[in-house]
A and B are shown apart, each in its own frame.
Chain A
Amino acid sequence: MLITRKAEFSASHICANPAWTFEQNRKVYGPDANPNGHGHNYVLEVTVEGEPDPVTGMVFDLRELKQILNQEVVEPMDHRFLNREVPPFDRVIPTTENIALEIRRRLEPRLRAKSAKLRNVRLYETADLYVDIGAE
């Protein structure tokens, strides 16, 4: 059985490789490369897989999942400029793909410690663009 919890955070970012010219970056990243950054309302959906516990009837305590999402993602990233305030995005370009990978990297050990299996991380940058990463 799969259960999914949603969380939201608003953050700004720039997608640009510092080794490239502005024109090269504009060609690869489009308006995401504009030099002063811009923001999105990111929507995160985290899916955990398991069987309901015979006593509690729950696959995983959703309050606990919410707390983990808050600690690992929302508190450090909400209303922040990812490139300037949230490592590793001072050196890793914060594309939707890389943000999703970083979120999975942060969540996986927390869930593993609770014997929960992270099945998927879905990150929407806008309503029209999202990435999915299954667990490793």
Chain B
Amino acid sequence: MRLTRRYRFAASHRLHSPALSEEENRQLYGKCANPFGHGHDYVLDVTVEGPINADGQMVDRAALDGLVRRQVLARVEYRNLNQDLTEFARVVPTTENLASLLRDLLLDNWDLPARLAHLRIAETDRNAFELEVGRN
């Protein structure tokens, strides 16, 4: 069985690679390369997998919420991903890279009996990025 909980956070980013010229960045990232960055209301779906416990629940909601709040939301909410997260000092904060970072932040501190199975981040209603997490 899988259980999915949805969280939201607002953050800004700029897609711009120092390895590319201004023209190449503009071609590759379009408006996302605009120099001062821009923001999204990201929607993060965290899916966990496991058996149901004796209390009829797969995972303690408050424990899951607490973990996501401490490890993810506290770091990204109302932040500029490029400037406020050291992980993105040299890595372009595409939502693909953000998904991988959030997976690592969660897994490094995972203390729940159910396992992390899947992450989905929607940047807008029109684009979403999904990451299946292997056995851990």
Contacts and interface: CB of A to CB of B under 8 A. Distances in A.
Interface string A23-55: 000001110000000000000000000000000
B52 interface: yes
A61 interface: no
Which DSSP category, helix, strand, loop or mixed, fits chain B's interface?
Answer: mixed
Given A97-B3, A128-B6, A28 B60 contact: yes
Contact of A131 (B3, B6, B7): B3
Interface string A98-136: 101100000000000000000000000001111111000
Contact of B1 (A15, A92, A97): A97
Interface of A: 15, 17, 28-30, 92-98, 100-101, 127-133
B1 A95 contact: no
B55 A131 contact: no
B19 interface: no
Interface of B: 1-7, 47, 52, 55-58, 60-62
A50 B47 CA distance: 26
A132 B4 contact: yes
Contacts of B55: 17, 28-29, 93, 95
Given A30-B61, A30-B62, A129-B61, A92 B3 contact: no
Contact of B4 (A17, A28, A30, A131): A131
A127 B61 CA distance: 15
Contacts of B62: 30
A129 B5 contact: yes
Identify whether the interface residues of A are mostly helix, strand, loop, or mixed.
mixed
Given A97-B3, A133-B2, 15 more contacts: A17-B55, A28-B55, A29-B57, A30-B62, A92-B56, A94-B56, A95-B55, A95-B56, A97-B52, A128-B5, A129-B6, A131-B2, A131-B3, A131-B4, A132-B2
A3 B60 CA distance: 31
